[in-house]
Amino acid sequence: MATRLSERDSRYVIDFRRVRYRWWLLTGATVIVFAAVVVDVQNRAPDRARSPRLVDLEAQIRDHAASLREDAAYAPPSGRERRAVSDALGRMGDTPGDPPAGLVDDLRSLGLDVEYATDSGTGRPYATVGGGPAANRGWGRYVIDLSRPARVVVQVPHPANDLGTEVIGVQLFREVPGAVLVIAGTHRRAANGAGDVAHRTDSMFHAIAEEHTRRHLPQLQLHGFGDAGLPSADLVLSAGAGDDGPLLDDIADRLDDDLRVCRAWRHDCGDLEGRRNKQGEVAARHGVEFLHVELSRSARDDAEVRAAVVRALGDALDRP
């Protein structure tokens, strides 16, 4: 027999239905809001979070070096641009992971591309700053290991002239976690020699070296010479404008079995000692470690010799 609900009971049933309706309405609204937040976070997340792609960094840098031309246009950055970019890159290296909010936008507003990827050679995340509209101004390309705070800088001032130094630079970057790779964006002879960043102080390359010096990061700069330039040596090792120290002896000793090393603090190594190198001069004034490394053409062309050099330099630089 069907039970008849009283007017009061019926009111309670209606109220329960209203509560259930309101619960579903609230749940649906919550889901919509949550989905919107997720989409917004994804849209604002760094590129590497949205596309953690594997990239062959060596191939990427080879392409950059191959693109540099002696007759290319070159526009030195203004003082404001040098300060903005060097400060941003310095802050990117301070802490691993995501850069500070707004920093990437600042770099892009100056015409620089900022890309995130994972290096296929090491599996470590990195950021590349360079390219974009600024590529036509010759501002360079900068690679920052994001797996740990920056602790050493590898500089390649003449990638289109000292052939193979850009490859050794990448290999050293891979050898030392926490490295920053700084590669010039000009041919050495571009703009009647204005592109020679190792001997000028108005380039983006030099501004970034100054920033790294302010942060007391040791710097190693790679160069190349023709075999006839110093037939008695395969490699010239120097502190540039600075004083020699135990690190230089350590590196030279590691290389003695594989190469003929000219120790610039003991012998005359010709005009290959980097005494007038502008980045080395700044480092010397502030007591920051600076290593000037010159490799002969034969040494740069020999894969086994290159590997020995990278191991020796990497072991010396990869200190606690």
- Residue 64: is its pLDDT beyond 60? yes
Domain at 52-317: CATH code? 3.40.630.100
Is 178 in a helix, a strand, or coil?
A: coil
- Residue 199: is its pLDDT beyond 70? yes
The encoded tokens of residue 93 equal: 């290296």
pLDDT per residue over 161-182, tens digit each?
A: 999 999 999 999 999 999 999 9
Nearest to 183 by CA among 193, 169, 199, 196: 169
What is the C-alpha to C-alpha distance for residues 18 and 312, in angstroms, rounded to an integer?
A: 76
pLDDT per residue over 110-135, tens digit each?
A: 989 999 999 999 999 999 999 776 66
Contact yes or no for 181/154 (Cβ under 8 A): yes
Indicate the pairing of strand 235-238 with strand 125-130: unpaired
Contact yes or no for 128/173 (Cβ under 8 A): no
Contact yes or no for 94/151 (Cβ under 8 A): no
pLDDT per residue over 78-98, tens digit each?
A: 999 999 999 999 999 997 787
Write out the DSSP string of 244-261.
Answer: --HHHHHHHHHHTTTS-E
For residue 44, the one-letter residue type is R
In this prediction, residue 19 carries a pLDDT of 41
DSSP 3-state helix, strand, coil percentages of the chain (rounded to 5)? 45, 15, 35
Nearest to 183 by CA among 247, 133, 139, 150: 139
Domain residue extents for the chain: 1-44, 52-317
What does each C-alpha distance from 30 to 19, 23, 24, 27, 318 come to in angstroms?
16, 11, 10, 5, 51
In this prediction, residue 99 carries a pLDDT of 72
Mean of the per-residue pLDDT values of the chain: 85
The string over 259-273, giving b where at least 16 C-beta atoms fall within 10 Å of a residue's C-beta and e elsewhere, is bebbbbeeeebeebb
- Residue 22: is its pLDDT beyond 80? no
What is the C-alpha to C-alpha distance for residues 193 and 70, in angstroms, rounded to an integer?
A: 9
* Helix runs in the chain, H state only: 7-44, 47-50, 57-66, 79-94, 103-109, 165-175, 190-193, 204-214, 246-255, 278-285, 297-301, 303-317
Q: What is the pTM of this model?
A: 0.83
User: Residue 79: which residues within 8 A CB-CB, separation 6 or more?
Assistant: none
For residue 192, the one-letter residue type is N
Sheet holding 219-225, edge to edge: 54-55, 113-119, 125-130, 141-145, 179-183, 152-156, 219-225, 290-296, 235-238, 261-263
What is the C-alpha to C-alpha distance for residues 260 and 95, in angstroms, rounded to an integer?
A: 39
In this prediction, residue 302 carries a pLDDT of 96
